[in-house]
Amino acid sequence: MRKAQNTSLIILAFFSIYVIWGSTYMLNKVAVGELEPFFLASIRYTSAGLLIFIISLALGKSLAITRKQFMNAYIVGVLFLSFGNGVIVWALKYVDSGFAALEISAQPLVVLLLMRLLQGKRIKAMSLVGVGLGILGIFLLVGQKQIIANEDTLMGMLMIFGCMLSWAYGSLFVGKADLPKNFFVNTGYQMFTAGITLAIASFLFGEQWIAPTHWGQPVQLSMVLLIIFGSIVAFTSFNYLLKTVSPDKVATSTLVNPIIALFLGWYILNEQITTQSIIAAAVLLTGVYFINTTKTSLTIPRFSGKMKKDDKA
């Protein structure tokens, strides 16, 4: 009976990291059409952080952490959320949600290269093939005429690449940082501090703050889904899977998320999917597959948590 329950939980957890995370690009795209990007991200993460604190206290979990743990949680929150996600929300004003998800799927490639540059770790032959295919896929994606001809779109995709660097460095930082032992509490601090940082950025950039009562119904629904499911449910599922199944299986979300995002962008937002985009997706995701299926594959945290890695990547 217990095994059946665990199997059901694993299936639901995979559904969360596949479908829910894949849908967040579309939900952010809907919300950013009406709200300012840093304001939007600030509301999402501040609210999610507060909810996590309330849930933790209700479950009897202590929120007490050391000063060093707080500072590390803040740094990780900035790398993953304030910059790593806040700027992506900004980029979605100019880039289709499916394009953004497809570009972000190359994140394991960026982590692999940073591990080589910053930690001197050797890259295995299979991963090298993946790196080559990943670079080719990104070139095919970004090299399309409609992207090159539009300065805003090109700038948006360049900013997304900057976010990937931030995520990648954050992934390496998390591996050695002293963070709160309880991952749920850890996530709460990262999300709450990132939300406050984004609120400050929103104020400095002169963004317009709009009360939720004045948001359109699609935006209100998108925000609720982003806070509850995209920020809390999916991340909890991610950490549960890290403890339950092998890291390479968890890493398959990197392959599935862009497919879900491309489909939802096309089906709900009427985003165009070109033949070159399909070819780029096939090449890029094949490269990510080669990287993720190497025996010493990486499991990249989306917001926080642990990165599984060996001495060789």
Closest CA to 64 of 209, 167, 229, 189: 189
List residues bridging with 299 in a β-sheet: 308
DSSP 123: P
Q: How many CA atoms lie within 13 A of 75 on its CB side?
A: 16
Which residues, 6 or more positions from 291, have their beta carbon under 8 angstroms from its beta carbon? 108, 109, 112, 126, 127, 130, 131, 134, 297, 298
Q: Tokens in use for 293?
A: 């299926």
The pTM assigned to this predicted structure is 0.84
CA distance 160 to 154: 10
CA distance 284 to 4: 36
Q: Tokens in use for 237?
A: 């599922």
Residue 73: Cβ-neighbour burial (10 angstroms; 0-12, 13-18, 19+): buried
Helix (DSSP H) and strand (DSSP E) numbers for the chain? 16, 0
Inter-residue contact 238 to 302 (CB < 8 Å): yes
Closest CA to 185 of 228, 235, 223, 247: 235
What are the pLDDT tens digits along the chain (313 aa)?
556 557 888 889 999 989 999 999 999 999 999 999 999 999 999 999 999 999 999 999 999 999 999 999 999 999 989 998 899 999 999 999 988 888 888 888 888 888 888 878 887 888 888 888 888 888 888 777 766 667 788 888 889 989 988 988 887 888 788 988 887 898 899 999 999 999 999 999 999 999 999 999 999 999 999 999 998 898 888 878 867 876 657 767 877 888 899 899 999 999 988 888 889 888 988 888 887 776 444 444 544 444 444 444 4
